Amino acid sequence: MENRAPSVDQIPDYIEIGFAKIEADLRFLMSCLGEVLTGLGHAEMAQSLPWSDHELDENKVPARVGQAYSIAFQLLNMVEEAAAAEMRYLRETSEGLTAERGLWGEWLGKAKAAGLPDAEVAALAARVRVEPVLTAHPTEAKRLAVLEQHRALYSLIAHRERHVRTPSQEDALRREVKASLERLWRTGEILVTKPKVADERRNMMHYLREVFPAALPVLDDRFRRAWELSGFDPSYVEDPAYYPRVRFGTWVGGDRDGHPFVTAEVTAETLEKLRLNALIVLHRELTTLAEKMTLSDWMQPLPPQLQKSYDRLIGVLGDRAPQMVAAHADEPWRQFVLMLIACLPMEMAPDQTAVVHEVPGTFQSPEELRAELTLLHRSLDEVGAVRLAESDVLPVSRALDVFGFHLATLDIRQNSAFHDRALSQLMQAAGLDGEDFENWTEVERLRFLERELQSPRPFLHAGAEIGPEADAVLSCYRVIARHIERYGHDAIGSFIVSMTRRLSDLLVVYVLAREAGLTVRFNDGLACHIQVVPLFETLDDLTRSPGILRGFLEHPVTRSSLRVQGGKDTPPIQQVMLGYSDSNKDSGILASQWALHRVQAELAAVGQESGVELRFFHGRGGTVSRGAGPTNRFLEALPHGSLSGDIRLTEQGETIAQKFGNLETAIYNLELLVAGVTTTTAIHQLQEETPHRLEEIVDDLAAASAQAYRGLLQAEGFMEFFREATPIDALEMSRIGSRPSRRTGQNSLSDLRAIPWVFSWNQARFYVPGWFGIGSALRDLERQRPEDFRALREGIRAWPFLHYVLTNVEASIASSDLELMEKYARLVENSEVRHRVFGLMMSEWESTREGLERLRGKAMSERRPRMLRTLKLRSDALHLLHLQQIGLLQKWRALRKSGDEPGAEKMLPDLLLSINAIASGLRTTG
């Protein structure tokens, strides 16, 4: 494929083509679903389906319409994904690799046009390290069995586009689709019981074992092709050392912040399953390789080095070796790979289930297998089979590099207050006065911790039981210590301290790690095997974070630990995690995003001053108010100098299925991320940093928006309004995640997690966290400083940060619905509270909409027709569901108020089904 630019009149109208495809696929699927429902005796339900030939009637809504609509919306989501993939394919086919914004073709094409030397671009790409981290935050409202059916249906939709050509093929596909839809209907959409951590782990493991290993070779191939087609020297991409590195992480089974069910046993089990599934991936890769290694020894004898290893493996395998040799006589290359498979520390049972099976002779580490694969690659080169070495062996080596024997790193996260209680219990058990440790001043805390960190001895013997928090922390840390002793560090991520508010919050973890045997003592002091990572979340904590990080990086234990963790030849790297949710909940979207932007630049400067490279870990959620947004736009908006090519990002809840639920979409999103990180890193390194002329204006805007937002939160009756105008009470009874919705169980806004906070506002179509405060700030700026408002209007598109944030705010305004907001507000029984709080919201909503239009110079309908068309496609069906949900909430709350708990419990599945259906329609929860 060439990089070619067609003339304007030759470029197809991809938007129209895409929407035509969506409408055609949707009609096909709705007709299939209607036939299924009719056949099951639900003709009335079939008549009420959206996007069919029937008119929707709000007064004739069947009882279980939520389930039908949830399925219908999921089908719409699938056809939209399939259409997007097809449009990318058409655009790349007709216009070349550079046509799709944000991917390798565009970035490498620009780098070549700018005259960047091949070696410099290759070195830059080689420095890139990207790590998506899959979390189990409770924003995935669908059952695991339902997700599996969705994957099957997407495959059928994609198959229809590419392979169905005859009437008989269409009939066969229709039968398959209808069978899958009936299976989906009979499965049921909602979670009747809360999922266990094991359920969330099984879902996460699907992506790590099935999706990402399949995406990796395609990702590599697209990088190579874009490199060569852009005119760069192909020799640089012959060596995978020049490829950007992709790694994967997870929190499932390690994130215990407010999660009592993530025990030490769960963490140990998770590490075992990660190891087993990594071996399954390698077993599959090597089995495919063995099928390809059919080279006969009479055409090319084994080179001496490979022969030596071949003979050694025969000796190691003993009685098992003759069977492998006899089964493939005259094919020693295949025999060699089969022996590598036999040396994996796992065993496949007759029923094809796998178990870890570590016996003498099996590989103890991925380095041992890597050495054998390197030898195999080199031997193929020696006999002239260079193409086979590259096409067959290299993908296996790459899979080993990425997934190792551990599949993904497991982070351990806990709240700083929990650590304080754990240390307090330790101190008391050791006879020290630590009962009130968490209330000590920072000076007192640091004095005590410094004294302890100079001592090598633990407080107590390993078997002592101390207290619930101390036992929980230390039992988890001991699991980590045992795993490292047995297998090494590959599977272990970081100890993340959520709600880091002071330096002592981080040093406490060193003392706890010492107690569990996770530290080592050198002549110059203590060092910790595992990196301790601050997580700065609230606005106040973000403001204090540069000072906290400076103290932490200058601490002797941190300096020693970074040396131990990084090795001799690598610069020290400290990870810093930024939370996007709580700062937004505290202060609104603009103040939150601006604080994060400002503080990243300050933290990067602290790292530079300390001689430490920072790896920022962005804790982004699935909604705009929790840090979500287009990946390439997010990366472009990062402050200059904050990205050195090394980054971690969370993928949370329903966004995992949306981004990685099928192979095509997974490849696209991974390429968008890796190419985007490379591009942004290049900009940060090759361009001079200059202060932006609008920074002072945005300072004032952020402060004004935060003041307006907090004014809403502090308004009399606000919490009463929130709890009655949104389905938060139903959400708190839902079963969408294994973790409680509150950190400690207190009924306060501060204790409520950001996820249900956002989820409930979205369900009621307010989207408050995504826009409130912006309108007041813009209105005051325009009235009081019109010249600054004009400067803002003229400079918005040239500043990626501001363009990104306000574009996301605009999306939140577009997704909200005034008519529905008003209907939900009527659920608030106190009319005075209702009028006062809703009046504030209505006024701010209108100010925000008008302010954005004046700032942009055009109405949203003129500038973003595609987004509005997408929203319009869903609006009528969603409207009906919202009206149904409001009615259900009224009846359910009335039953609870009257004391009829059995009646309320009986209604709950229908209410949860409506929540699930609306979440499917909005494509977002929290």
Specify the DSSP class assigned to residue 393: I
Q: Which of 585, 597, 823, 882 is catalytic?
A: 585
Q: Quickly count: other Cβ atoms within 10 Å of residue 373's Cβ.
A: 22
Among 727, 756, 723, 729, smallest CA distance to 834 is for 723
Could you tell me the CA-to-CA distances from 586 to 132, 316, 581, 616, 712 in Å, in that order?
26, 62, 9, 22, 11
Residue type at position 864? R
Could you tell me the CA-to-CA distances from 326 to 294, 296, 308, 332 in Å, in that order?
14, 14, 19, 10
Does the annotation mark 585 as catalytic?
yes
245 SS3 class? strand
Among 767, 864, 765, smallest CA distance to 817 is for 765
Gap between the Cα atoms of 205 and 730, Å rounded: 30
Gap between the Cα atoms of 884 and 85, Å rounded: 34
Strands 129-134 and 249-250: parallel
Residues in the chain: 926
Gap between the Cα atoms of 819 and 175, Å rounded: 41
Among 34, 150, 155, 26, smallest CA distance to 80 is for 26
Could you tell me how far CA 652 lies from the centroid of its own chain?
4
Strands 646-651 and 613-619: parallel
Does the annotation mark 137 as catalytic?
yes
**Residues forming a β-bridge with 409:** 249
Gap between the Cα atoms of 674 and 683, Å rounded: 14
Per the listing, tokens 């709705």 go with: 30
Q: Which of 137, 150, 618, 882 is catalytic?
A: 137
Contact indicator for 250, 207 with CB cutoff of 8 Å: no
N- to C-terminal Cα distance for the chain? 41
Q: Which spans in 318-412 are helix H?
A: 321-327, 332-342, 366-382, 386-388, 394-403
Tokens found for residue 896? 């609870």
Gap between the Cα atoms of 312 and 334, Å rounded: 16
Q: Quickly count: other Cβ atoms within 10 Å of residue 867's Cβ.
A: 16
Could you tell me the CA-to-CA distances from 469 to 90, 465, 590 in Å, in that order?
56, 11, 37
Burial of 721 (0-12, 13-18, 19+ CB in 10 A): buried
Gap between the Cα atoms of 881 and 450, Å rounded: 59
Tokens found for residue 514? 């010492």
Tell which phi-psi region holds residue 567, choosing left (phi > 0), alpha (psi between -120 and 50) or beta.
Answer: left
Among 33, 62, 67, 256, smallest CA distance to 911 is for 67
Burial of 55 (0-12, 13-18, 19+ CB in 10 A): exposed
How many helices (H) does the chain have, and how many strands (E)?
39, 13
Q: Quickly count: other Cβ atoms within 10 Å of residue 547's Cβ.
A: 13
Contact indicator for 560, 602 with CB cutoff of 8 Å: no
Contact indicator for 406, 369 with CB cutoff of 8 Å: no
**SS3 letters for 647-698?**
EEEEECCHHHHHHHCCHHHHHHHHHHHHHHHHHHHHHHHHCCCCCCCCHHHH
Could you tell me the CA-to-CA distances from 20 to 13, 25, 99 in Å, in that order?
11, 9, 21
Residue numbers annotated as active site? 137, 585
